Amino acid sequence: MLNASLTELARLLEAKQISSVELTQSLLGRIERLNPTLNAFVTVRAETSLAQAREADARRARGDALPLTGIPVAQKDIFCAHGWPTTCGSRMLSNFVAPYDAEIIRRFDAAGVVNLGKTNMDEFAMGSSNETSFFGPVRNPWAPAAVPGGSSGGSATAVAARLAPAATGTDTGGSIRQPAALCGISGIKPTYGVVSRYGMIAFASSLDQAGPMAKSAEDLALLLNVMAGFDPRDSTSLDRPPEDYARDLAKPLTGLRIGLPKQYFAEGVNADVLRAIEEAIAGFRRLGCETVEVDLPNTRLSIPVYYVLAPAEASSNLARYDGVRYGHRAAHYTDLTDMYQKSRAEGFGPEVKRRILIGTYVLSHGYYDAYYLQAQKLRRLIAHDFAEAFKVCDVIMGPTSPTTAFDLGAKSGDPVQMYLSDIFTIAVNLAGLPGMSIPAGFGDDGRPVGLQVIGNYFSEARMLNVAHQYQLATDWHRRVPAGLEVDAQ
């Protein structure tokens, strides 16, 4: 049952062939065996999860269950969950226990979903490899010497290794799509504002977006049905009527126009990644789709624009962690200024400090106009490129990442090379568009390749339809890392 989709699990629960308690116990046992190697979870509270599972079973017995009632979902450790440690992968919050629920946690609780635990992540979601966590790096289940991608690498590893049927993630510059690609699972970043950010620890507020990660597009649709919706406590939440994101899954793709940006198939992409993506595109043509070349000329500016705007917002958001109002406080200091300095120096890791320094610099007097304001203008041009492309196509496709998963430590000494890991995902966040990654084959090294699907605003249902039809015709999303097959445990 650990290979089952959410739909299949719901059917088994409804038919009383399994109970939520049995399912949760099975997953907790697998986590206990495999997590010491993979480091995907930072917090597991078995008794709390089992209590939620018992309540879900009772709810089914009363006849008031919803589609996902009793199904365990792992939560990225960036979401506040009442009574659970919420560390955001940082020493700064290593002792923080959330006194309230994030909106998506509240929605999952209301749906009867079991909280399976909190997953490891890059510190404050800053990273492309999941190597910056205070709790150590996460390992890729397909290649334990490789990274899972970041910052939602713990969630991606948990799903790929069958430690959880599904998980949540956040995507500021590709942090759902990139780890989904490197771990061979499916993940979607919705349109900015579709899922509430209330109770999600902020990194860069104009870019952060929560979304689900799972084995298939069909599972993502079921999860998004629970997660999405207007929240008056989030000023960036969009007040729109509720949607059924699974409504279009069965639609044929005949006549769908796929835009292929020439910048996404240029120099810099590994040959084996390109080969897998081109084979996937050929598969869509066999399903009746048409392809057209589109131009996204400002793609090359995405990285520099992002690394001005995101650190600027991060330096503001993280100012609250001073050892007085929030976060770690140094044990020894001489005066107030010394306490601030030592608390932040001890509490933050090197990558977070680097981004705070960059952000503070670009917002400082004399440099705001030269850097921050120019970056905002370029952000508008990047969004305009997508608007022009969507005049001639329905969705855009290309590689999610230019490479397969790289080895631990391979890029940690070169921040620029690390930042380039997200070159195809960042523009989507700058424009506020929805984007997703689905498994599309393997590289020459046997590591997964992800296909990125980008849609126009509020086209999540169509994107999930496109991905689901592809997954009906392929089995990449059903592959399990060698040695981690459920039957082998």
Contacts of 231 (CB under 8 A, 6+ apart): 103, 196, 198, 237
Burial code of 431-444, b = ≥16 C-beta within 10 A, e = fewer? bbbbbbbbbbbbbe
Residue tagged active-site, from 5, 76, 315, 421:
76
Residue tagged active-site, from 175, 343, 401, 459:
175
Residue tagged active-site, from 5, 129, 133, 151:
151
Contacts of 316 (CB under 8 A, 6+ apart): 359, 363
CB atoms within 10 A of CB 268: 11
The verdict on whether 342 is a catalytic residue reads no
Angstrom distance (rounded) from CA 127 to CA 433: 21
Q: Is 376 exposed, middle or buried (0-12, 13-18, 19+ CB in 10 A)?
A: middle
The verdict on whether 175 is a catalytic residue reads yes
Angstrom distance (rounded) from CA 352 to CA 343: 14
Contacts of 444 (CB under 8 A, 6+ apart): 272
- Cis geometry, peptide bond prior to residue 151 (ω within 30 degrees of 0): yes
**Measured CA distances, 106 to 114, 115, 141, 208 (Å):** 12, 11, 30, 19
Alpha-carbon dihedral sign for residues 458, 462, 465, 470: negative
Active site residues: 76, 151, 175
